[in-house]
A = this chain, B = another copy of it.
């Protein structure tokens, strides 16, 4: 057995060196942070491995957008699955809006009167919906009537001017982006607004399943990174299940706990029983707020890879 070496903190310490200290201690949350960095390094370096990134939780209002975009630009990500809310927040910022540092102990009635929507201690100006409406009215006119969700998201990305956008980068780099629950979002509401006005918009909910499963199926190896659970995690999990042998690498960062039985908090090893994860896969569960764990892990990984 390896002995636990206590974490030594030095002055002017690099993040990567701190994470390596955590690797020496090797237990509790610190040990998992270090293991996650090692596994992501391995899956990024493995040229045979297709990497799936799942993003749930309010990561854009939480200040994580640039890390996600940086990862997408790194060429290490082969597919991304996220929530409609994440894409709506991304689009709102691409249209020039900001999120604001607020407080969790706010008077929500007052915020409502002032026109701010609260996400814990992050605020979004409610008037983003007006710009979203204008944006969609302008682009839906010429959109192909028959389309699947991935094509729809790329089509949005194509019309986004700002470079600081997940949707834009996915379109530019032609990174497959999936969002089964797209109707459950501000973007969905914009489409609804147009449907109500009688516009025909026929986005097929099942069609791009072919594509995500195909990416998994045709890959020599598979790896995934889950930020949060929900649909993004589960949608990638089922692609893993239908990819012959399951994933070779897996990292999840979650604040949900396995003890309650839900999919979001489920331990990755559970996936072995489903065939979603290989018996000999490298994987780790990181139980931590993603806005803490992701920058820490990512800064360590970025130090170790030359593509960055």
Is the pair B3, A266 in contact by a Cβ cutoff of 8 Å? no
Q: Does A135 contact B (CB under 8 A)?
A: no
How many residues belonging to A are interface residues under a CB distance threshold of 8 Å? Answer: 129
Residue of B with least CB distance to A25: B63
Complex: how many Å from CA A5 to CA B98?
9
**A1-40, CB under 8 A of B: which get 1 and which 0?**
1111111111111111010011011111111010000000
Q: Do residues A57 and B262 form an inter-chain contact, with CB atoms below 8 A?
A: yes
Complex Cα spacing A212 to B271, Å: 34
Beta-carbon nearest neighbor of A214 in chain B:
B196
Q: Is A106 an interface residue (CB 8 A)?
A: yes
Is A26 touching B295 in the complex (CB atoms < 8 A)?
no
A73 at the interface (CB under 8 A from B): no
Are A298 and B9 closer than 8 Å at their CB atoms?
yes
Best-buried of A15, A213, A292 by chain B (most CB within 10 Å): A292
**Within residues 130 to 178 of chain A, which ones have a CB less than 8 A from any CB in chain B?**
146, 149
**Looking at chain A's contact residues, is the secondary structure mostly helix, strand, loop, or mixed?**
mixed
Which of A101, A102, A149, A257: most chain B Cβ within 10 A? A101
- In the complex, what residues of B have CB within 8 A of residue A262's CB? 56-58, 228, 255
List 7 A-B residue pairs with CB atoms under 8 Å apart, sorted by A's residue number: A8-B70, A12-B14, A18-B295, A31-B101, A57-B260, A112-B272, A183-B235
Chain A residues within 8 Å of B, Cβ to Cβ = 1-16, 18, 21-22, 24-31, 33, 56-58, 61-67, 70, 85, 98-102, 104-106, 108-109, 111-112, 116-123, 126, 146, 149, 180-186, 188-189, 191-192, 195-196, 201-210, 213, 228, 230-231, 234-235, 238, 242, 255-266, 269-275, 279, 285, 287-293, 295-296, 298-299, 302-303, 308
